Chain A
């Protein structure tokens, strides 16, 4: 195998494919590598940890077709260190030679026969506008759990909802729900649970693409992204098996208290006051007529207060939140204004955006004495 490629393009595909390489392979050392295949003037780089597989494809000048597996981290570091210009990679026996200008590296390859074979994606292909999906995923992925002890909560539920697509995630402290009314991905009544980590990677590659093609298999889902410039990316992830909790029952039917406040103003103030909410101290919000007061007190450190103009209807109430969870919700909400609806200091509060009913962020408070 022998091919030539611009350093920046090569680094791009290696990095993208390398994001699936976690070293979690453990028993399978070859999974610490990235598979390179040169054929028909194309280079395909593949990284996988068995759960998630990312393939990145670019046009290159192929002299001899072939395939190999090279250590993912090492090859990326080498290519990144090179000067801008052409890079040549040639594999002979169990050695990959990387040449650029007067630099030369010889890297021992990994056994290619051990590398998992990925079945070609099955299922019918559906297309979704990339920017819609990216925006929706960003608003939801943040609420998914990263605790592997509760695998179901590490996923994002994708479900057909009134002809559109609904995305749902919760880590048991907050719940994010986003409707994409124009995206028809799933058949009526269909739902899948997709690992949030894979969707986080998908957001990264959606970038400048116009469309994303989705193919839903029995046990996995594949996303194909072809941006106008740059590498084509195919991302395949296994689906999480099991039943997502009944999130609908978490959302209270109505709220007696409703606060409306400018989103940027609110966000800036929360970030400021958070400076004094150290060591996991919560942020307290006091809601009263036409005003919102934020307060944080950390023992032995100090305190911060800020008062905001806001429109409020309801009973005077003090409620405390983890500031990071609150910030994540306000950031995700988008729009000029957000509304915060509450029942009392111990019940979930809901954050919505002035932009419309398509997004909801439900947040459990911190119980303070």
Chain B
């Protein structure tokens, strides 16, 4: 089987004249980039003594889950989304960290700056992962392989982060290619990855068909089970099944979709994900909360963390969402879009509290208990600014105004700027909401991955 070609192209020389990129190469316009073990890599940058050790970032409480694991920890079978309790059993020597999403957000923003030097058409998938449409960049920077290498080198030089890049004709193949480029963990140590994998058009099917069906979007545990039952394990197996037969097994929509993907057909464009993006944090409690007051405390903590990430990414939110999972596992979300854009924790707290104080919700919380609370910022865009008003001065005299105690949004914007400065200089734990000062340790309040969660 002729595997994908690895192009060993050096970084293109920017001073050269326009690059001549052939027609076959021009078809490979989707680039997928993913930082290797992102959260862990950021932690290692902060504390180089962690390098080469099994490091696990995630929730450390009774119901915590793994957010990221170093390759050294992965060698023990630890992977993300695994309950922390299992990760502890598999890798008892691992260093468990709470994570610092404010910092990850900042690094992510820098990563996107590097992306933007190549193309404005960027579809963010996660903090450390994005699709880039490089169709407009060939003349300037050369073919996909050259662009991938440039990006990878720049991210390593400027941010100190290793990444894996896939380049192909569409998203499906580019994503699989970046996975193929990644380092592999094993008990004998981490095998370095190829870094950049380019899937040429003529190699597509060979490349694709060798992959297990798990690699396809739309193949969850259920589908996987059904396909395994009819002897389908690789994408190649899947491609041999007639579409009709697949539809009979999986249903029409799913069958047709997978049939297309198994042929390497994926027409989804790379869309700049603005507006669709959201930033959210959630916390699972060791024991269910029935008490609204306690939840408000969590809201303060989550709002602090989410708003810090929103600001770190130079964004503002138009919508605030809360997510509640009740003791009986029913999960609901509620959202509100206030008139002004939101950037400060105070604004998020105000909006989330309004949602949480809905009498119907309060009754449900008290009766059924809350297992998980999440807070999200959605409809993100560059902040447009806050129209200042005379209200503060007018209040001081005699006019009745709308701002009820606790300072205006403008005051809070100023306070928040100072807070961000202090955190940038002295660390996230240096300052935080007063409400959290007395949070018990190591009680539920300390389990959040947020700017103020303790590091060790």
Contacts and interface: CB of A to CB of B under 8 A. Distances in A.
Which of B272, B388, B394: most chain A Cβ within 10 A?
Answer: B388
B410 interface: yes
Contacts of B272: 300
A322 B384 CA distance: 10
A322 to B, nearest CB: 6
Contacts of B381: 299
Interface string A101-112: 000000000000
Contacts of B387: 173, 282, 322, 364, 366-367
Nearest to B391: A172
A357 to B, nearest CB: 22
Chain B interface size band reads 20 to 34
A365 B386 CA distance: 9
A246 B274 contact: no
Interface in A89-108: none
A27 to B, nearest CB: 27
Nearest to A149: B402
Contact of A320 (B385, B390, B397): B385
B274 A299 contact: yes
B397 A245 contact: yes
Nearest to A244: B399
A93 to B, nearest CB: 51
Given A172-B389, A173-B387, A367-B388, A246 B382 contact: no
Contacts of B400: 150
B393 A249 contact: yes
B398 A245 contact: yes
B383 interface: yes
B15 interface: no
Contacts of A322: 387
Contacts of A81: none
Contacts of B393: 249-250
A366 B388 contact: yes
Contacts of B402: 149-150
B314 interface: yes
Interface string B292-328: 0000000000000000000100100000000000000
A240 to B, nearest CB: 12
A369 B384 contact: no
Interface in A159-177: 170, 172-173, 175
B401 interface: yes
A159 B393 CA distance: 21
B384 A280 contact: yes
Contacts of A281: 384-385
A282 B388 contact: no
Contact of B390 (A152, A175, A282): A175
A365 B388 contact: yes
A275 interface: no
Contacts of A300: 272, 274
B343 to A, nearest CB: 8
A268 interface: no
Nearest to B386: A367
Contacts of A249: 393, 397
Contacts of B398: 243, 245-246
A228 interface: no
Contacts of A113: none
Interface of A: 149-150, 152-153, 170, 172-173, 175, 243, 245-246, 249-250, 279-282, 299-300, 320, 322, 346, 348, 364-369
12 contacts: A150-B401, A152-B399, A170-B390, A172-B389, A172-B390, A173-B390, A250-B390, A281-B384, A300-B272, A322-B387, A366-B385, A366-B387
